[in-house]
Chains A and B, each alone.
Chain A
Amino acid sequence: MKKDFLKGLRHSVPIAVGYFAVSFSFGILTAKYMKFGFSAVSSGILSLTNVTSAGQFAAVTAIVGGSGLVEMAILQFIINLRYALMGFSLNQKLPENMSLFQRSVIAFGNTDEIFAVAISDKYPLSFHYMLGLESLPIFGWTAGTVVGFLAGEILPKSVTTALGIALYGMLISIVMPVARQEKSVRTVVLISIALSCLFFYIPLLNVVNSGFAVVICTVLSSSFGAYFFPVKEEENEV
């Protein structure tokens, strides 16, 4: 039990460090929007309860744009739907007899990176291993957000402006290698960008809440991809 937990902790160290860096720039971002209710505490709670990068990032845009609650729910549903897919896959690696309570606990921290590490480990995955694997990254994600927020308040504007692009840089570093490798991903990414620009620049279209525009771009371009470039069986393990 304890051994499993420690093994999980050890495996999670690189994830936790990476999360701290990403959420640090998320904190810097939210520090710009204090008048919308973001504080060190609310940003920290947001990170602690959600533990999603893209979902939280899109949410900031949506909140600043005055999104409705249903819009917000749909936005999170679409952007985070991939976690369901990972859940189905993770499920195959959990021992059959794992209790409902234990399953409900480890479901909380199933992020892209944790899933990737868990799935590459020898199964079956024990509850304590998963607990160890998830706790440090969740802590890193939350702490990074709070520290980033506080840094955003004290650092000079020239520095926070420069750091403001860091989050986008990280997102680009996630998309680019895959776009380079897979032609289909490259195509759908370009379609999504083109649609996103339409929603930003074209009158009438640009009144759509920017968070919701992201959903429309995501759904349209991904549907196009699914229809024209269905993924082959073996690539399905996200």
Chain B
Amino acid sequence: MRYNIYIYILVMATVTYLIRVLPLTVFKKKIKNKYILSFLHYVPYTCLSAMIVPAIFYSTSSLLSAVAGFCVAVILGYFKKGLVTVAVSASLAVFAVEMLIKFAF
């Protein structure tokens, strides 16, 4: 660890607040450039995906259980199931597979 956690939090909170407050107070002009707008449209999805894969495969105690959880989440997400449903089902899949590994092998 290079810095105290509260220094990180301070930096994060400051940057995030500035992003939120400036458009409402100082720069009130709407962005018109379609490339910038498109870029911002894609950011949430590309950012989340980069955070999910491949990290998710190492988020449990075995690759097998992580893959099971991942598949369950992707399938349920594809069928537009709600946030909590997807999360709980993925967790149950991981739990089930890890129990199976522990007791069956």
- A and B pair up: yes
Q: Are B43 and A172 in contact (CB under 8 A)?
A: no
A92 / chain B contacts, CB cutoff of 8 Å:
30
Please tell me if A139 contacts chain B, counting CB pairs below 8 Å: no
Please tell me if B5 contacts chain A, counting CB pairs below 8 Å: yes
Q: Smallest CB-CB separation from B66: which chain A residue? A: A165
Find the residue from A52, A61, A171 having the highest chain B CB count within 10 A.
A171
Tell me the smallest distance from the CB of A202 to a CB of chain B, in Å. 12
Complex CA gap A36/B92 in Å reads: 29
Please tell me if A170 contacts chain B, counting CB pairs below 8 Å: yes
A21 / chain B contacts, CB cutoff of 8 Å:
83-84, 87
Interface of B is mostly: helix
B24 / chain A contacts, CB cutoff of 8 Å:
87, 90-91, 94, 103-104, 106-107, 110
B47 / chain A contacts, CB cutoff of 8 Å:
54, 58, 78-79, 192, 214, 217-218
Given contact pairs A91-B28, A177-B80, A197-B53, A81 touches B19 in the complex (Cβ within 8 A): yes
Q: Are B8 and A188 in contact (CB under 8 A)?
A: no
Q: Are A169 and B69 in contact (CB under 8 A)?
A: yes
Q: Are A87 and B45 in contact (CB under 8 A)?
A: no
Sort chain A's interface into a size bin: 35 or more
Q: Smallest CB-CB separation from A18: which chain B residue? A: B83
Complex CA gap A131/B55 in Å reads: 37
Q: Are A18 and B84 in contact (CB under 8 A)?
A: yes
Q: Are B50 and A213 in contact (CB under 8 A)?
A: yes
Please tell me if A142 contacts chain B, counting CB pairs below 8 Å: no
Q: Are B39 and A169 in contact (CB under 8 A)?
A: no
Interface residues of A in 127-179 (CB under 8 A from B): 158-159, 161-179
Tell me the smallest distance from the CB of A61 to a CB of chain B, in Å. 7
Q: Smallest CB-CB separation from A101: which chain B residue? A: B25
Contact of B13 among A49, A68, A193 (CB under 8 A): A49
Given contact pairs A87-B22, A188-B45, A176 touches B94 in the complex (Cβ within 8 A): no
Known: A76-B12, A81-B19, A163-B91. 14 other contacts (CB 8 A): A22-B83, A49-B12, A50-B9, A55-B12, A63-B1, A69-B7, A76-B11, A112-B44, A158-B95, A162-B69, A169-B86, A192-B45, A221-B50, A223-B39
Interface of B toward A, CB cutoff 8 Å: 1-9, 11-13, 15-17, 19-25, 28-31, 34-56, 59-61, 65-66, 69-70, 72-74, 76-78, 80-92, 94-95, 98-99
Q: Which 9 A-B pairs have the closest CB atoms?
A: A176-B77, A87-B23, A37-B5, A169-B90, A217-B50, A173-B86, A162-B95, A169-B87, A49-B13
